C-alpha cells in the first residue's frame, strides 16, 4: 500500500500559475441558509486549473483522509470521526464549510470502490451548498486501473463493476445522476447478487462471472471510459491555501516540470485525449517510476536516502 503524504509548500515552493483559469467558486452565496442561519461567513472557495490544481479556501478547516481501498464501512467510520459525515446511515454532509481532501487509493483491495467514489461525489455536492468542498487526488492504484493493471482488484470489486454497468442501463446511461445515486443503490445490488449466488449454489458460473468482471472493469476504467473520465476530474497534485497534497510525494523536479502541466497531462491521458500520437503514452513523471508523484516513497525513508537521491539528481542534471 502506498503511503499518502502531504507536504508544506515551505518545503517545496510552488510558482504561481501563469495561465490557470478560475473554474468555479465552490461556496454558496451568502443568502444560502444552513440550520436557520446565513452561510458564507468566510470568503468563497476559489478553484483554479482543470483539473483543480490551486484552491483558495480562506479560513476553512481542512481535513485529509488517506487510502480507503474499497472498504465502505471504514470509509464511513473515518469520515464520521472527521466530523463530515452523519452517523445515521443517511450519508449526509455534516462538515459545514470544511474542506475535505481524499488522498487517493480509493481503488483495489475492497469490494465497494465505485460506491466510495459515488459517496465522495455526493458529499462534494452537499458540501458546496454549505460553503465547503470535497477534493480528491489520484493515487497509484487509480493510475494502475486506468492502465488496466488489475493485479490488486478484489473479486468483489470485479462484481461491483458488472453490477454498475447493468445499473447504468436503468438510467439510460445518464452518467451524472447514475453515478451520484450508486451509493444509495449499491447495497441492494450486492444483496441481489448474493442471493443469486446462493440460489445457483454449485452451478454458479464463477469463471463466467470472472470474465464478465474483467471486461466490465476494462470498459469502465480504460482511457476514455466513464470511470476513467471521472478520475480525470481529479488532480495528481493539489495546493489548498499553504498546503500541498499528493498521494506519494512531491519532489523539486516535479515542481520544475509544472504541477498544472502534470495534472493536465494525466487528465488528458485518462480521458483518452493524449496529445501524443502513441496510444500507449502514459505521463511518466506523474504516474510511473519509483520517484513519480504517485509512487514516491522517499519521504518515508531515512533522510540520507533523500539526500543521496538529490545528489544523484544533481549529477544527472549536470
| 69-100 pLDDT tens trace | 999 999 999 999 999 999 999 999 999 999 99
Check pLDDT > 50 for residue 4.
Answer: no
- DSSP class of residue 51 equals T
- How far is the C-alpha of 76 from the C-alpha of 83, rounded, in Å? 11
Q: What are the grid coordinates assigned to 63, written together?
A: 481535513
At residue 296, the pLDDT reads 93
CB under 8 Å to 11, separation ≥6 — which residues?
none
At 165, phi and psi to the nearest 5?
-65, -40
For the chain, give the mean pLDDT: 84
CA distance 216 to 302: 42
pLDDT of the residue at 2: 46
Q: Tell me the average pLDDT across 158-187.
A: 95
CA–CA distances in Å: residue 294 to residues 219, 247, 280, 283, 307? 23, 5, 19, 11, 20
Q: Is 32 exposed, middle or buried (0-12, 13-18, 19+ CB in 10 A)?
A: middle
In this prediction, residue 9 carries a pLDDT of: 33
- Positive or negative, the Cα torsion across 18, 44, 97, 21? negative
Q: N- to C-terminal Cα distance for the chain?
A: 34
What residues are paired with 165 via a beta bridge?
none
Q: What is the pLDDT of residues 123-152, one digit of tens each?
A: 999 999 999 999 999 999 999 999 999 999
Q: Give the cell for residue 96.
A: 459545514
Angle at 227 between CA 222 and CA 228, to 5 degrees: 45
Which position has the higher pLDDT, 310 or 279?
310
247 given a catalytic annotation = no
pLDDT of residue 178: 97
Write the CB contacts of 71 (distance below 8 Å, at least 6 apart in sequence). 109, 110, 112
- Give the SS3 label for residue 194: helix
Q: Is pLDDT of 200 > 90? A: no
Least confident among 13-17, 108-112, 126-130, 245-249: 13-17
What is the model's pLDDT at position 29? 37
Q: What is the mean pLDDT of residues 210-225?
A: 95
Q: What is the pLDDT of residue 5?
A: 41
> What average pLDDT does range 111-118 have in this prediction?
98
Give the SS3 label for residue 84: coil
The CATH homologous superfamily for domain 5-153+224-317 is Metallo-dependent phosphatases (3.60.21.10)
Closest CA to 150 of 208, 218, 207, 103: 218
Q: Which residues have CB under 8 Å from 38's CB, separation 6+? A: 30, 31, 32
**Residue 172: all three cell numbers together:** 439510460
Band of residue 28 on the pLDDT scale cut at 50, 70, 90 = very low
Rounded Cα distance between 298 and 26, Å, is 34
Among candidate residues 188, 26, 186, the one with its CA nearest the CA of residue 117: 186
- Across the range 299-310, mean pLDDT stands at 66
DSSP secondary structure code for residue 300 in this structure: G
> Catalytic residue among 69, 141, 234, 254, which?
141
How far is C-alpha 314 from the chain's CA centre? 33
Mean pLDDT calculated for residue range 238-264: 96
Provide the sign of the torsion angle of the four alpha carbons 286, 292, 295, 298, taken in this order. Answer: negative
For the chain, give every domain's residue range.
Answer: 5-153+224-317
Amino acid at each position: 500500500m502506498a503511503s499518502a503524504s502531504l507536504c508544506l509548500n515551505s518545503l517545496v515552493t510552488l510558482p504561481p500559475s501563469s495561465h490557470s483559469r478560475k473554474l468555479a467558486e465552490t461556496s454558496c452565496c451568502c443568502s444560502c441558509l444552513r440550520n436557520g442561519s446565513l452561510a458564507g461567513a468566510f470568503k468563497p472557495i476559489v478553484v483554479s486549473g482543470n483539473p483543480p490544481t490551486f484552491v483558495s479556501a480562506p479560513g476553512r478547516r481542512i481535513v485529509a483522509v488517506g487510502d480507503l481501498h474499497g472498504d465502505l464501512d471504514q470509509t464511513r467510520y473515518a469520515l464520521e470521526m472527521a466530523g463530515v459525515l452523519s452517523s445515521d446511515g443517511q450519508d449526509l454532509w455534516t462538515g459545514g464549510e470544511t474542506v475535505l481532501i481524499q488522498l487517493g487509493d480509493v481503488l483495489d483491495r475492497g469490494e465497494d470502490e465505485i460506491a466510495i467514489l459515488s459517496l465522495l461525489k455526493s458529499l462534494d455536492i452537499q458540501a458546496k451548498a454549505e460553503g465547503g468542498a470535497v477534493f480528491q487526488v489520484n493515487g497509484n492504484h487509480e493510475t494502475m486501473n486506468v492502465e488496466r493493471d488489475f493485479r490488486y482488484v478484489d473479486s468483489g470489486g470485479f462484481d461491483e463493476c458488472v453490477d454498475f454497468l447493468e445499473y447504468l442501463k436503468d438510467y439510460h446511461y445518464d452518467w451524472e445522476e447514475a453515478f451520484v445515486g450508486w451509493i444509495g443503490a449499491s447495497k441492494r445490488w450486492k444483496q441481489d447478487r448474493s442471493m443469486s449466488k446462493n440460489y445457483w449454489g454449485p452451478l454458479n458460473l464463477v469463471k463466467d462471472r470472472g470474465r464478465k468482471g474483467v471486461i466490465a472493469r476494462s470498459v469502465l476504467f480504460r482511457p476514455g471510459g466513464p470511470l476513467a473520465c471521472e478520475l480525470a476530474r481529479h488532480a495528481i497534485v493539489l495546493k489548498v491555501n499553504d498546503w500541498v497534497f499528493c498521494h506519494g510525494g512531491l519532489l523539486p523536479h516535479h515542481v520544475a516540470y509544472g504541477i498544472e502541466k502534470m495534472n493536465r497531462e494525466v487528465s488528458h491521458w485518462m480521458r483518452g485525449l493524449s496529445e501524443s500520437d502513441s496510444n500507449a503514452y502514459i505521463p511518466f513523471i506523474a504516474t510511473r517510476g519509483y520517484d513519480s508523484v504517485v509512487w514516491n516513497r522517499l519521504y518515508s525513508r531515512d533522510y540520507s536516502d533523500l539526500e543521496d537521491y538529490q545528489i544523484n539528481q544533481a549529477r544527472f542534471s549536470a
